[in-house]
Structure 1
Amino acid sequence: MPGEWKFPDVVDLNVGGRHLTTSLSTLTKYPDSMLAAMFSGKQPVTQDKDGRYFIDVDGDVFVHVLNFLRFGKMPPPERASGVREYAEYFGLQELKELLPKDFEKVLSGIWKMKLPNYQSYWKGVEREILNLSSKYFYIYVSAPDACSAGSRRRTLVLQAPGSSNIINLDLSYTDDERPRPTVLLNLLANDLKNLNIFTDYHETECVQCGCKAAMHYNTAS
């Protein structure tokens, strides 16, 4: 019965099929939240066949909720919207208040300040998109001091062999700021959403130092 169940100090979770482990104190950190109610016996919690406590949400999003409960760590911009929805669902006002609806926009603005010539990259990408021969394409970015190891471009070779499906950008920066190519890719991905263009493959980076990177996009609505 609710109120009589004794939870272990270390809790094994099955979150939408993803297996996670955390402490009971983490799950009950905020007494007014749904998670605290679930793991204090006030609400029933289903267990899977292996005895893990089942939470029927996306584990890849929920892990960012756990990281907030553990360390006060905020999610990356691309996860902010989903984490905000979960904060509301689980009654975590402490997290929700730190995730305004324009959180992604705010962080994007901060990164753009580190790339003062970002708009020139953006305008160039807009022009290139008009000449694409496929609804799928890559943006490939390399820094001027790219190492000799090269990047993991296997996906580029397999899925987008035509040069017309690859937009190449050379990343330049000042001596004071040395952003990784993935910074530029994520900024572009954020602005491309307004054109109904979305990433459907996460970026790959140079195996040595991240001096090169690529991201796959889909122009299909």
Structure 2
Amino acid sequence: MAMNNASDATRVPPGQRLTNGFPVLHHGEVPYYRDMSKWDLRLFGLVEEEACITYNAFMKLPRRTFANDIHCVTTWSKLDNEWEGVAVAAVMAHVKPKPEAKYVMLHAEHGWTTNLPLADFLRDTSFFAIKHNGEILSPEHGYPVRMVVPHLYFWKSAKWLRGVEFMAADKPGFWERNGYNMYGDPWKEQRYDWD
């Protein structure tokens, strides 16, 4: 897809192409939830006290609208996304990381994981998404909750989120163990470690 104007070009990282669609990419099966009483979000690791937020409690957290562009490692970019979700700060009110916590591991269904520096997780632009462009997330896009970290490649925005582990040292998640870059900055084209 061609860019709409010159300002779009400044919003698209090197090696990316624009799409109006929302491609679905993942490894493994899509989880379908039938009993939300079994869903929770666990906050654990290097914290003063572990916390577990139930689905009902999570849905009562204050929500905000977020606008951003997203960039997939497979070279597509989607501009002007509007999301409804919960700010990281609202979730962090439930847990206090220990001073030595410098990284997080996002844990999702089926054992899927991805790593982030704590500073990136805590950015004002990072959030827990519930809706995309006015619609509840579909199962394929991460229902009921996905992380969104728009300044990194989109694999860092874990779908089907179930836990946030606070860690002292960085360690690779699923795709990072399989050759993806440990950080994933789209503006530096940090796609794969074999590049």
Same fold (TM over 0.5): no
* Greater RCO, CA 8 A, separation 6+: 2
TM-score of the pair, normalised by structure 1: 0.24
Q: Answer with 1 or 2: which has the greater Rg.
A: 1
